[in-house]
């Protein structure tokens, strides 16, 4: 498999997932709050996005640690969502971090194998 593809796919998917989560924060502009309250609400709604971006940033350099963070983010969401949402909703939000974590592990393994053979 192409080394560049294996390296870049989890990073691009991580950023895309953060963008997907950020879209959910836009509903604060519909709440009719004042400017200050809207800024605070937006900051609070963007916390999951910042956590995903932090995991991507860490995984960029330390892929195994980043993979663990993505698994942790997925588990934390499942624990917080509990039975409040249908399984499809939980899978929609918790599934991508698991896939991204697996891809970072594959990328890490591929990078190590490439370094050994070089």
Q: What tens digit of pLDDT does each residue of 42-80 get?
A: 999 999 999 999 999 999 999 999 999 999 999 999 999
Neighbours of 65 (CB within 10 A): 13
For the chain, give the mean pLDDT: 92
Tokens for 98, please give them. 């698991």
What is d(CA 115, CA 68) in angstroms, rounded to the nearest whole number?
22
Instruction: Give the residue, 113 or 103, on which the prediction is more confident.
Output: 103
Dmax over Cα atoms in the chain, in whole Å?
A: 60
Neighbours of 93 (CB within 10 A): 19
What is d(CA 10, CA 58) in angstroms, rounded to the nearest whole number?
12
Predicted pLDDT at 114: 60
pLDDT category of residue 11 using cuts at 50, 70 and 90: very high
Give the N- to C-terminal CA distance of the chain in Å, as an integer: 16
Instruction: Give the residue, 48 or 117, on which the prediction is more confident.
Output: 48
- Is residue 118 scored above 60 in pLDDT? no
Predicted pLDDT at 1: 60
Neighbours of 34 (CB within 10 A): 8
Instruction: Give the residue, 112 or 116, on which the prediction is more confident.
Output: 112
Residue whose tokens read 């959910």: 24
Predicted pLDDT at 95: 97
């Amino acid at each position: 498999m192409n080394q560049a593809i294996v390296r870049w796919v989890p990073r691009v998917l991580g950023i895309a997932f953060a963008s997907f989560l950020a879209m959910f924060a836009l509903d604060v502009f519909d709440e009719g709050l004042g400017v200050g309250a809207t800024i605070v609400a937006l900051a609070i709604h963007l916390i999951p996005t910042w956590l995903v971006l932090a995991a991507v940033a860490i995984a960029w350099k330390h892929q195994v640690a980043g993979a663990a963070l993505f698994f942790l983010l997925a588990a934390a969401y499942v624990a917080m969502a509990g039975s409040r949402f249908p399984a499809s909703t939980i899978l929609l939000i918790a599934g991508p971090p698991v896939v991204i974590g697996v891809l970072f592990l594959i990328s890490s393994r591929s990078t190590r194998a490439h370094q050994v053979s070089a």
